[in-house]
Amino acid sequence: MIARFEELDWQSTPMGDLMLRRRTDPELGVEIFEVKLGDEFLMSSLFTVAEEELANLGLAAADGDDLTVLVGGLGLGYTAIAALRDPRVSAMTVIDTMPAIIEWHKRGLLPVSAALTRDSRTQLVLDDFFAVMRREPETPVRYDAILVDVDHSPRHHLDPSHADLYTESGLRALRRHLNDRGVFALWSDDPPDTDFMATLGLVFSESSAHVVDFDNPVTGGVSSNTVYLGR
């Protein structure tokens, strides 16, 4: 029997103590996986709708039948596994800067880990996604879609080194890693940001912000996240 609260892993990282825990909620009757970084809750398997919509909306905007996808931020794996549900995806690279998170999935600790790691289209890479985006891309490595879920929002970052991605120069550097008509999609915990939308419009010929509503069983109401798209 699973204890009501079980710490599956704890590791010290440059950004703070990282913990994966599993608990059962007697009122909801579900098993919940949660990740904390320091005192912050990073993610929960109770709220995955917007993470999956990040992949769904991003790939819906992508052209072609042989798509290569880059996911920035592995987390609990819900964005990546949603991308793999699209039969047009032929290859998917997922970059995460934390060895522990990649190891959790290789050990099969999370609900989608087995499906994610056993899919031959998946490549898990230990690297700094933001540093990768700053580099000149290797020819012919270009992606049809880049899906990003790392920071809380374009204004609220897990680490100060991430801030430049959300500037015009940072987005132009990211765009170099996209194929023609490639799609950039970004998850945010905040409502649509007018300033960021203006910056997105400077770099991409098409840009939009999609509010994703989902039921919140904790509050009993509806919560919202935002998915930004640029193409």
Residue 122, classified by CB atoms within 10 Å of its CB into exposed (0-12), middle (13-18) or buried (19+), is: buried
Q: Is 160 in contact with 23 (CB distance < 8 Å)? A: no
As a whole number, the mean pLDDT across the chain is: 93
| Phi, psi for residue 149 in degrees, rounded to 5 | -145, 85
pLDDT in tens, 179-224: 999 999 999 999 999 999 999 999 999 999 999 999 898 788 999 9
| Domains in the chain: ranges and CATH | 47-230 (3.40.50.150)
Mean of the pLDDT values across residues 159-185? 97
| Phi, psi for residue 83 in degrees, rounded to 5 | -65, -40
Q: Is 164 in contact with 126 (CB distance < 8 Å)? A: no
Q: Is 208 in contact with 228 (CB distance < 8 Å)? A: yes
Has residue 15 got a pLDDT over 60? yes
What percentage of the chain carries pLDDT values higher than 70? Answer: 98
pTM of the model: 0.93
According to DSSP, residue 204 is labeled -
User: Would residue 64 be called left, alpha or beta, if left means φ above 0 and alpha means ψ between -120 and 50 degrees?
Assistant: left
Mean of the pLDDT values across residues 95-111? 95
Has residue 42 got a pLDDT over 90? no
pLDDT at 3: 47
Our measurement of the distance from residue 199's CA atom to the centroid of its chain's CA atoms, rounded to an integer in Å, reads 21
Name residue, tokens 């005192």: 39
Which string of DSSP letters, residue by residue, matches 69-137? EEEE--TTSHHHHHHHTSTTEEEEEEEES-HHHHHHHHTT-STTHHHHHHSTTEEEEES-HHHHHHSPP
What percentage of the chain carries pLDDT values higher than 90? Answer: 79
- Structure tokens, 169: 């120069």
Q: In the structure, what pLDDT confidence band is assigned to residue 11 with cuts at 50, 70 and 90?
A: confident
pLDDT at 230: 98
pLDDT in tens, 59-89: 999 999 999 999 999 999 999 999 999 999 9
